Amino acid sequence: MPYLFTSESVSEGHPDKVADQISDALIDNFLAFDPESKVACETLVTTGQVILAGEVKSKSYLDVQEIARGVIRKIGYTKSEYMFEANSCGILSAIHEQSADINQGVDKKKKEEQGAGDQGMMFGYATNETANYMPLALDLAHTLLIELAALRRENKAIKYLRPDAKSQVTLEYDDNNRPIRIDAIVISTQHDDFDTEAKMLTKITKDMKEILVPRVMKKYPQYKHLFNDKIKYHINPTGKFVIGGPHGDTGLTGRKIIVDTYGGKGAHGGGAFSGKDPSKVDRSAAYATRHIAKNLVAAGLCDEVLVQVSYAIGVAQPTSINVNTYGTAKVKLTDGEIAKKVEAIFDMRPYFIEQRLKLRNPIYSETAAYGHMGRKNEVVTKEFKEPSGKTLKVKVELFTWEKLDHVEKVKKAFKIK
């Protein structure tokens, strides 16, 4: 029987995402100057105020205030009328040294025996319904906001946009779990003040339908048929949205974990990503399970898969690895048997995850908005500045967990031609 499924996304200017981006900028700066840094950093943003808190063990010293201001400036909070502005907001730092009790469970004499930074379970998911092996509803929701942010920065076709925004996409699926139409699109975007609310709603609705959606549609040629005049649009459904960002709603690190992952498809272990160095398996193992899931689907093992891994704090070897192919496996093996082979292909001890995915590099700022999964794997050069004025340029590879570098190994292990 056909069914509906919905996913949402939030923009880089959403208060929770502002907090995530500040936390991950701190991670990147610590790792750039000391790759062995251990960091767990939380951020709170509200009207005219940023509060930083957390634990750090690092050889580097940073101007955390200037790093936070740089992030806020880049997002676009640069006008006093936003009531949260890069140059004038207050920034309070309550960052202190990491607990030695936690550290003793992570750092070991032999690096390969490095223990998990915490207990917990992590999930990775992949599906072949999109080119990047992500659920289509979430991918569309992200793309709507990526293009909306591009329109805001271009400031040509649409000139009234402010940084805060949310989107939501509802798809109808057929009996074979394939998307057959877009049922509804929701877009709420912060905007400059208009003369009247009626004029504002008319203008924004027209621009979203005639400028934004066509830009998004061009990115999905294989799903062009899903876009039609029967889509139900809800554009700024509450009406006026002038007050937004951290002035409209307090933001906290780690409050958008479903937006960060798979939009409600698959499962989530509950741990947030941003603000955590890769010794925290909440982050590194979630990336590693995505890497596994994507390579399994790309190899043709299955159409859809969910991979779970779990850890005990301070212990290197996972307590379990589970694979669920939702009955789509193309090999004559049970999911349990598939999991055993996966365990032999991918070493899931924390140190080996860090090495395989190059996670002790400053690669995290780019993950903190528009999802940690399904993104483009590429090599970029990033620049970091110490309080002394010393500048460091680092060439890094982003989104390594999106690489299809284990497809041949999977095919060989499972005898897939």
Q: Which residues are annotated as a binding site for K(+)?
A: 42
Query: DSSP labels for 357-403?
Result: HT-SSS--GGGSSS-SSSPPPEEEEEEEE-TTS-EEEEEEEE-GGG-
State the DSSP H helix or E strand holding residue 279, giving kind and residue range, or none if neither: none
Q: Which residues are annotated as a binding site for L-methionine?
A: 55, 98, 249, 280
In three-state secondary structure terms, 406 is: coil
- C-alpha distances (whole Å) from 100 to each of 38, 107, 349 are 11, 10, 21
CA distance 256 to 274: 10
> The tokens of 386 are what?
């110490």
CA distance 309 to 323: 9
Angle (CA) 343-347-350 rounded to 5° is 125
**Whether 410 contacts 296, CB under 8 Å:** yes
DSSP state of 231: P
Q: Which residues are annotated as a binding site for Mg(2+)?
A: 16
Query: DSSP labels for 55-120?
Result: EEE-S----HHHHHHHHHHHHT---GGGT--TTTSEEEEEEEEPPHHHHHHH--SSGGGPPBSS-E
CA distance 32 to 36: 10
Q: Which residues are annotated as a binding site for ATP?
A: 14, 164-166, 240-241, 249, 255-256, 272, 276
Q: Which residues are annotated as a binding site?
A: 14, 16, 42, 55, 98, 164-166, 240-241, 249, 255-256, 272, 276, 280
* Helix boundaries (H) for 107-193: 136-154
CA distance 265 to 214: 26
Instruction: Give the residue from 267, 261, 348, 335 showing the smallest Cα distance to 301.
Output: 335
